[in-house]
Structure 1
């Protein structure tokens, strides 16, 4: 993996969270964690909606670039299938920013991001865990199961979906950095 792909993997999620937090700060007069969706911060017609949408697209581009570098080093069929599915999920993250709330595809691309990314995470983690690192296997399954359970509970508990969305995003991010440190770091070349 190229060094720039590795660094894209490091900074990609940070850019997304900085965008989300900036948008929350700017829209704090009306946006509520328990009553809204993260996507409400990027909806069509909202002043400063770019604070959410541009970082999501930029993060997706960086994570796709990182993912392609990782994919080239995944050795088993299950790892490669999972990695490709994960990259597909990240493409849907870009589509959330390209088709913000208020456009007809938004609902579908949002759900596709969370579902496809989590499936890609699970398959990739299982593949890596079975092929070379049992800790990754156990952490992947744990993060997947706990993330989905907490997300479902939060969806039933709160009026808005921001909390389940954050649970999903934090689950993906935690898993990503585990892969980055446990697997990818050893693949970096000059």
Structure 2
């Protein structure tokens, strides 16, 4: 994978989560992990909503650029399908920034991000497992399974959905960096 794709892959989660955590700091007077959704930080009409929304759009663009490089590296139909599904999830991530809470499409793009990215991750993982990369395949399966179980538990346990959302995000980010590590080019 070319270095420019690797760098985009490294930066994408940092930019996205950096914007979310900056928005949490800005709105710490009212935002609560167990009572809110992450999207509350970007809702229509909220001051500084652009902090999170812009970071999600930029992160999605960076991650899509990384996926372009990943597409060239992965072999097998299942892995390619997984990348395409994951890309749909990243388009939904950008959609969360473009269609913030308080707009009609927001609910659909939010779910689209979590569902498509986790299914894409699972498909890539299964493809890698079949190809002989057992560790990455099992990691994808474990993150998918445990992540969804914990997220659904958190969704039923807390008033807000932010805990469930962070479980999903951290699972996807963990998988992303594990897969990216496979392709990092050693320094010359």
Tell me what 1:153 maps to.
Answer: 153
The aligned runs of 1:103-114 (5 Å cut-off) are 103-114=103-114
Give the aligned CA root-mean-square deviation in angstroms: 1.4
User: Distance in 2 between the 1:83 and 1:17 partners?
Assistant: 21
Q: What is the TM-score normalised by the length of structure 2?
A: 0.97
User: Distance in 2 between the 1:157 and 1:50 partners?
Assistant: 30
Tell me what 1:164 maps to.
Answer: 164
Could you tell me which runs of 5 or more consecutive residues in structure 1 were left unpaired when the two chains were aligned: none
Alignment partner of 1:2 is 2:2: yes
Tell me what 2:173 maps to.
Answer: 173
After superposition, give the CA deviation of every residue in 1:112-156 in whole Å (9 maximum; x if it has no partner).
Answer: 111111100000111112113110111111111110010010001
8 Å contact from structure 1 (residues 53, 98) kept in 2: yes
Q: What is the TM-score normalised by the length of structure 1?
A: 0.96
1:72 match: secondary structure: helix
User: Distance in 1 between the 2:187 and 2:61 partners?
Assistant: 21
Tell me what 1:185 maps to.
Answer: 184
8 Å contact from structure 1 (residues 2, 189) kept in 2: no
Could you tell me which runs of 5 or more consecutive residues in structure 2 were left unpaired when the two chains were aligned: none
After superposition, give the CA deviation of every residue in 1:40-74 in whole Å (9 maximum; x if it has no partner).
Answer: 00000000001100000000000000001101111
CA separation of 1:3 and 1:35: change in aligned 2, threshold 3 A: same
Alignment partner of 1:134 is 2:131: no
The aligned runs of 1:53-68 (5 Å cut-off) are 53-68=53-68
After superposition, give the CA deviation of every residue in 1:5-56 in whole Å (9 maximum; x if it has no partner).
Answer: 1100001001111101100000001101000000000000000001100000
Q: How many residues align?
A: 188
